Amino acid sequence: MIRALILGLSLAGSVQAETLRIGTETDYWPYIFRAETGQRSGFDVDLMAMLCQRGNFDCVWDEVSFDHIITGVAEGRFDVSIGGIGTTPQRDLLVDWTRPYHVIETGMSHFAALSGDVDVTKARIGVQGETIMEDVLADNGYAAITFPSNSAVIEALLAGDVDAIFTSSSYLTQVDQGGTPLIDLGYLSYPDGGPQIAVSKGNADLQHRLNRLIEGLEADGSLTMLNAIWFPQGNETEL
């Protein structure tokens, strides 16, 4: 029995891993960010580590700006992309998706400013471009100024280039903890299917394999564990 087990492990280890190239950005805490050590960290990093191990993938990360996360998959620069991202009708034309790996029934993003006197209905509002949050602002008639990253949005607020920002509550918490106290000015809620992994269009085999792996993580409690680590206060919004 032991000899058979050792033989099975040996054969499994001899199978060459398939390279999986992953596109992402690292500026959306707690999904994915750079820790103080400089290491890539977050919910999505831990998730992909599990998927790569169980799927026997040799995972290679490519960091790009957020506006290239979807187009990079569509153009074949990488196989998948991840980073707390979700589906939109425009994105659906370019990529396919796995099942959601973090359940969000209702999205909620917050306005915030350095002062509580800001009227968001008249303010210049900074938001990360190409995100669902930008779409939500436009759909609700707010005047948005877009920036390439959440960090750039914060920098614009500190520089006085915008009056307020629009982002997730978890990101605001991280900014506060970083020493920039912001005043919460309210929120907008919207339907939200939860973050998913973008897969190159028509690659049904990879899509199905990832779905099976995500189902396995759900079944054995691994996703519940990750949620408890990275979302102790509950659900969060996707980009």
Instruction: Judge if the upstream peptide bond of residue 232 is cis by omega within 30 degrees of 0.
Output: no
Q: Are residues 48 and 89 in the same domain?
A: yes
Assess if residue 151 is contained within a domain: yes
Query: Could you list the residue range(s) of the whole structural domain that residue 84 is in?
Result: 17-103+193-230
Summarize pLDDT for 74-84 with one digit per residue, the tens: 999 999 999 99
Summarize pLDDT for 27-37 with one digit per residue, the tens: 898 999 999 89
Six-digit token string for 133: 């949050």
Assess if residue 9 is contained within a domain: no
Residue type, 236: E
Distances in Å between the alpha carbon of 189 and those of 20, 53, 186? Answer: 35, 36, 10
Q: Are residues 147 and 180 in the same domain?
A: yes
Q: Are residues 67 and 111 in the same domain?
A: no
CA 225 from chain centre, in angstroms, equals: 18
Summarize pLDDT for 176-233 with one digit per residue, the tens: 666 778 899 999 988 778 899 999 999 999 999 999 999 999 999 999 999 999 988 7
Q: Are residues 58 and 125 in the same domain?
A: no
Is the Cβ–Cβ distance between 22 and 63 less than 8 Å? no
% pLDDT > 70, the chain: 90
The CATH number of the domain holding residue 127 is: 3.40.190.10
Assess if residue 83 is contained within a domain: yes
Alpha helices in the chain (DSSP H): 2-14, 43-54, 69-74, 89-92, 132-139, 150-159, 169-177, 204-219, 222-230
Cα–Cα distance between 171 and 151 in angstroms, integer? 10
Q: Are residues 171 and 198 in the same domain?
A: no
Assess if residue 1 is contained within a domain: no
Q: Are residues 134 and 156 in the same domain?
A: yes
Assess if residue 73 is contained within a domain: yes
Assess if residue 169 is contained within a domain: yes
213 pairs with which residues across the strands? Answer: none
Quote the number of domains for the chain: 2
Cα–Cα distance between 86 and 121 in angstroms, integer? 26
